[in-house]
Amino acid sequence: MSEYVAFDLGASNGRCILGRYDGNRLSMDIIHRFDNAPVELNGHLFWDILSIYANIRNNLIRLGQGDADEIRSIGVDSWGCDFALLDAKGKLVSNPYSYRDSQTAGIIPRLFSRMSQQDIFQITGLQFIEPNTLVQLYAMQLNQDPALKYAATIQHIGDLMHFWLTGIRACEYTNASTSQIMDVQTHRWSPEIIASFGLNPDMFPEIIPAGTLLGKLRPSLLAETGLKGVQIIASATHDTAAAIVSTPVTQKPFGYISSGTWALLGMEVTRPVLKSQCLSLNIANEGGAFGTITLLKNITSLWLIQECRRQWSLEGKTFTWEELSEMALDSKPFLAYLDPDDPVFSRPGNMPGRVQQYCQQTGQLVPQAKEEILRIIFESLAFKYRFVLQSLISLTQEQIAVLHIIGGGSRNVLLNQFTANAIRLPVQAGPSEATALGNILVQMVAMGELSSLADARSLVLQSFSTTIFIPEDVDRWDENYLRFLRVTGLDIPV
């Protein structure tokens, strides 16, 4: 039995997951789950980064106290874009900002005073969204943030954990690709962008490929954990890239949604797509493992449901995820529509009130009941998925036969069915622990236990079950999709 450890850091929780491989099948066990949420301080949102590290360290100690002889390697993955700044001695300058911090509001148009939108896109191939590392750094510049004065090294969240585990400073390719500072063609930091924005070129460590062996734990951690024979691997450090590795593909081309707080809807390609149409559709070329490009769009997704749940909890009403879906089914369908990516929904706050505000401002029925608000969100998410999928098909000129939904959101039966109805295609849901699974699969290839991406996906197919959702009532969904487009002002891709 070979064992691999994945620390999967998400924007709401983190998990320590142990993968066990017996030579034929791979199994996964959640060893520990811990909360992770931004902390508000003086009007800004920060990550409690030392708490994240403490949870990783404590889990490593716990693993070392058990039967750890079979553990071969450890890797950390995290959400993209966010970063920490280290000083010349490798010390943390300040807690990292959360990508939902308000400092980036309205910053994207101001980027273009330094460099044109077309030039930034041609270099990076990236979607323009406020969480991007470049947007955050420029906001810090404009705000004269003193942290920049002391910054000697930038590390994305997963890379920072690897640095604290090993002492090696590097930026893994898949996470670097979310920065809007990396050249998508050369896989190196762009000197043009660095110069145009007055960034310190020495701040950016070497970009290394997914699956790079970093070495052993640093001496103090070795003494604490006893994990002396274990390699630390910079797996596919960006959680989306890791999740896509675990897609149980049986045919290409294929579409996927890595579903959770965000929905990353895309197609896997081998070369970046830098057409002007890609820029106009605001679609990203992010780095994938094993020489792939993840051509995708970031869609605000179950964040809306999560924030509704949080607001109602503050009001004394607590609901499970299953109860929220059941409530939505109790509402009349197609009452109103919203664009989940409208800026009004991007920050924490009273999400039910914002849904009502959006409906009022767009001249629609204003929902009053919780059931109505939930139904509007779920249906609108499915319609937005259809719009983005049509955009990708228009861009690539490739048709897909099935849409894979992976990650935690793949457990949401209601949204899976609504998505199948909206896109008029079967949806294959699972595996749910896609990110940690992909992290482990990249580790297995790096350690020589698997030989390729194709081998990794074959192992997923023989180790984990999935669920198929068949489209229903598609004519009615087609009719209401046109209403969704009119309300949101989205143009049908041609």
Rounded (10°) angle between helices 474-488 and 370-396: 90
Of 474, 294, 292, which is closest to residue 386 (Cα–Cα)? 474
Q: What does residue 97 show for φ and ψ, rounded to 5 degrees?
A: -70, 150
Who contacts 137 (Cβ-Cβ below 8 Å, separation ≥6)? 148, 197, 199
Burial class (CB in 10 A: 0-12, 13-18, 19+), 67: exposed
Task: Decide if 478 is catalytic.
Answer: no
C-alpha torsion sign, points 445, 449, 452, 457: negative
**Strand 13-21 with 26-35, pairing:** antiparallel
Catalytic residue, chosen from 77, 82, 239, 341, is 239
* CA distance linking residue 314 with residue 330, whole number of Å: 23
Helices (DSSP H) in 97-132: which residue ranges?
Answer: 108-111, 117-124
Is residue 27 within 8 Å of residue 19, measured between CB atoms? yes
| H/E run at residue 232 | strand 231-234
| Gap between the Cα atoms of 45 and 403, Å rounded | 35
Which residues participate in catalysis according to the annotation? 239
